Amino acid sequence: MTMKAEEEFPYAGLLLAVLAGLTVLRGLFAAFADLSPDEAYYWSWSTRLAFGYYDHPPAVAWLIAAGTALLPGSELGVRLPALLCSSLCAWTVFAITRDLTGSGRQAFWVAMLLSFSPIFSVGAVIHTPDALLAAAWAGAVWFALRAARFERLVDWIGLGACIGVAILAKLTGWFLLPCLGLFAFCCNVGRSSLKRPGPALTLLVAAVVVLPNLLWSGGAGGGAYAFQLAHTTRDLGFSAVSFLAFLGGQAGVVSPLLWIGLVLFMAVSWRREVRFGRNPAFLMWCFSAPLFLFCLLLSIVLKVEANWPVMAYIAALPGAAWAWTGGRFYLRRIRLWVGLTLSVSFVLTLLIHLQALSPFLPVEDKLDATARLRGWRELSREAVREADRLGAELAAEGYGPVSELLFYTGRPVFYERSSTRLSQYDLWKSAPPQGTILFLQPVSTKSPPKICEQARASWILEKKAGGQSRRAERFRWWVCER
């Protein structure tokens, strides 16, 4: 295909068609898979909208409230915003790559690599704060690229709005500010922009967007900021195993061939000839390498979750496309490499989705992350049947089981804190039931429920559920008389 023919080919339209098809297929999965405990937890936030929550900023709750307003009481309603955010993120990465490389064809395949990588595919249907964070992060990269090139105030305003939205999605969004600062002070284009009003306008817009959450957090003992600080510093300690697990885990969730290419871009694109000779590519490095390096170093002393460094890959992908095609080196047999990478990504993603809907791999549930998407409907039906038979009210231990029972039963569920962590429910005080209580307690907990210790009598209901997931068997079923 000649350059002229390539430019005339409607890659943007092709991408829109592919994303529309992917959204439909993902929507079918989203409608049938049970909510994960975290998704149900965020849904419970959406029933009590606020400017902040104990674990994360509030945007995920606002989006779920909008989705369930359109599709009430359904898993698809909870996940619809994640589907839309995923498509928006892929489209924005396409726009970034096209601006960076000047090639619609390369931009299309980069968007495909992003869309089919396991971590982004799963993030498109499992609604967590990362869904909006990814879309806002991609938007910040695109606006920053345009602001550095055109110096228009509208781009600086868009950049500030995306930074603010990213912070409202997840505290990782704050990392965008040092990324921008690194670009501003380490290259000539960045330094010249500091002499203009654009950067100050960006900070002002971001502050206006984030201010309500900051005020709420100040009145709630630090809110998500205090929670995440305590959560991440609780188990600090040197661990070579954690470091190696981080490297292997990232290769797995991104797709091995693709991950190697992204790391290679981050390793070579900080040099002077890129900083001063190819500022847009260096901007991609600033939005990717610092976050990845931070997570890499953190993995030496802490278990780093697989999703923590994922935002780094959003900017690394367009940057790598530039590097692969002559910006830093030529990737030989690039079509073969892209084909192999997409094939591996597609197979891994397909296996994950099939395992979630109908497990076929002989993996123990504690090692199978998809097990969190099975059995909650079944458990809730069992709980309702037993509660009706006993004339009891429902109670459970931990934010996950309580949230699942709330979503699938539609009944009040009394919350008792797990010994492992606090949650938003600890701030939402509720009076304990006064009659008979059916209490579901994870079998991993060793001591009886506190609410049952205070009762006149308590005993374990020997109840085992059949079915594929055996979710009900993972709980002790207590019946308590108050």
- Under the banding of pLDDT at 50, 70 and 90, the label for residue 332 is low
Average pLDDT over residues 186-204: 91
pLDDT at residue number 308: 92
Residue (of 179, 174, 180) closest to 148 by Cα position: 180
pLDDT at residue number 468: 47
Residue 458 has pLDDT above 70, yes or no: no
Per residue in 418-455, pLDDT tens?
866 788 998 888 888 888 899 999 888 888 888 887 66
Rg of the Cα trace of the chain?
24
Parallel, antiparallel, or unpaired for β 457-461 and 475-481?
antiparallel
pLDDT at residue number 461: 67
Q: Is 442 helix (H, G, I), strand (E, B) or coil?
A: strand
Q: Say which range, 1-15, 269-283, 330-344, has the weakest mean pLDDT.
A: 1-15
pLDDT at residue number 95: 96
Taking residue 233's Cβ as centre, other Cβ atoms within 10 Å add up to 10
pLDDT at residue number 400: 94
| Residues in contact with 341: Cβ distance below 8 Å, sequence separation at least 6, in sequence order | 113, 255, 257, 258, 261
Average pLDDT over residues 361-379: 86
pLDDT at residue number 36: 96
pLDDT at residue number 2: 41
pLDDT at residue number 274: 83
What is the H or E stretch that residue 478 is in?
Answer: strand 475-481
Q: Kindly tell me the sign of the dihedral angle through the C-alpha atoms of 116, 117, 121, 123.
A: negative
Do 371 and 390 meet the contact criterion of CB atoms below 8 Å apart?
A: no
Q: What is the mean pLDDT of the chain?
A: 89
- Under the banding of pLDDT at 50, 70 and 90, the label for residue 1 is very low
CA distance 37 to 126: 11
Higher pLDDT, 425 or 235: 425
Q: Is 441 helix (H, G, I), strand (E, B) or coil?
A: strand
Do 445 and 422 meet the contact criterion of CB atoms below 8 Å apart?
A: no
pLDDT at residue number 11: 93
- Under the banding of pLDDT at 50, 70 and 90, the label for residue 359 is confident
Average pLDDT over residues 299-310: 90
Q: Residues of the chain with pLDDT > 70: what percent?
A: 92
Parallel, antiparallel, or unpaired for β 457-461 and 413-416?
unpaired
pLDDT at residue number 230: 79
CA distance 193 to 274: 18
Per residue in 113-156, pLDDT tens?
999 999 999 999 999 999 999 999 999 999 999 999 988 999 99
Q: Say which range, 74-83, 198-207, 263-272, has the weakest mean pLDDT.
A: 263-272
- Under the banding of pLDDT at 50, 70 and 90, the label for residue 4 is very low
Q: Say which range, 19-28, 167-176, 252-261, has the weakest mean pLDDT.
A: 252-261
Average pLDDT over residues 187-207: 92
pLDDT at residue number 450: 84
CA distance 294 to 135: 21
